[in-house]
Chain A
Amino acid sequence: MRTRLYSLEELNDIPGTTVFNALRSRQAYHLHKFCMSLMQEDNRAAFRADERAYLERFRMSAEQKQAVLARDFTKLIDLGGNIYFLVKLSNTDGWSTQKAVSSMTDLTPDAYAAMMRAGGRSPEGQRSIRGKN
């Protein structure tokens, strides 16, 4: 066996964190294709005009479509999504990245913005589930 500096299992040991990998990338391929389509104004206009009809153009799962309609970023990450694709959706909505990001936390956008102005979320207790540090 080749040596590894750490077990890949440890990537699942970070609290409140999903590590985006090749399998997730594949699971979200059609979701991400939809997200990247929003890099063109014509497509943004078509999406705004009829979101459900626009989503039918893509081979996304029903769950992924529902999570897009609900702007449920936590769910979209669960379903394989990565934030750099997903912000194409929040940008289309005119949201700041901070608003999109804050929606995945237990804070309101205002409370999240205040936390950031105060220096952000401390890493204390947020490094390892197992190590509780």
Chain B
Amino acid sequence: MARITAGIATSHVPAIGAAFDQGRDQDEYWAPVFAGYDWVKEFQRREDPDVVILCYNDHASAMMLDVVPTFALGMAEEFDVADEGWGRRPVPQVIGDPVLAAHLAEQLVIDEFDLTLMNALEVDHGCTVPLSLMFGRREEWPVRVIPLAVNVTQFPTPSGERCWRLGEAIRDAVESYPAGLNVQIWGTGGMSHQLQGERAGLINPEFDNAFLDKLSDRADELRKITRLDYLREAGTEGIELIMWLIMRGALGDKVEELHRFYHVPASNTAVGHIVLRPQG
């Protein structure tokens, strides 16, 4: 059967992608950010996952205009990289896994998660920046990717608790898949940031570090954080952290923290990154 062997969370700031693509990753400003991801690149070489279920949000690139899905699952064989206004990122096309995606879609809808299924989807920096951070420069990505896009932009977003339970259902769905796949689940976005209004630039390291501290063994407290709390404490875009709870919910009760990184700032955002291993 398939198993979820690791959960990884990371911010997905577009400026990180731009710095990476333009070879500025060793600049004084960016070097400390990229250094935080050296460990995970070596980890991924050892782990060699088959598939990543990649929770991210579409930034008005493929959805949010005509259709606003709360949870949207990428079903296709491949996902082109979106042009977000400055040309497509020069990174490989993202390769999907339609058979596992179809299995997830069936199981999750049966478990009351009424997903939107995307038979065509272009992916933006929310999906491709984490791939660059986990795998570095590649001719092709060494893993198949099932994108799971979450509405964190248009209020009301799903609650953190709803995201956690979706994660639990994803775990069950993966474990009922007959092929022996090594599956990772990634939660992306965050940490604290606000990209609009006079309050733009908000960073709350106290909130962020408490979130990182509790993610392993006090996650029950994180499940209770309301949307309003996220907006007040972590900024309007800090609510992306609910996607970390999908990842965490998919790992079961006990996890081991393997790696953690926190850095302020990358452009407007507090960067957080954590690697967790499910226990038992």
Contacts and interface: CB of A to CB of B under 8 A. Distances in A.
Nearest to B207: A123
A128 interface: yes
A10 B85 CA distance: 34
Contacts of B203: 116, 119-123
How big is chain B's contact interface, by range? 35 or more
Nearest to A91: B85
A32 B226 contact: no
A49 interface: no
B195 A102 contact: no
Interface residues of A, number: 58
A77 B83 contact: no
Given A18-B196, A87-B85, A119-B264, A82 B201 contact: no
Contacts of A82: 60, 64, 153-154, 196
B200 interface: yes
Contact of A20 (B65, B155, B202, B207): B155
B78 interface: no
A5 B225 CA distance: 10
Contacts of B198: 15-16, 104-106
Contact of A126 (B86, B199, B268): B199
Interface of A: 5-6, 10-11, 14-22, 25, 29, 32-33, 35-36, 38-41, 44, 73-74, 77, 82-85, 87-92, 94, 96-98, 101-102, 104-106, 112, 115-117, 119-123, 126-128
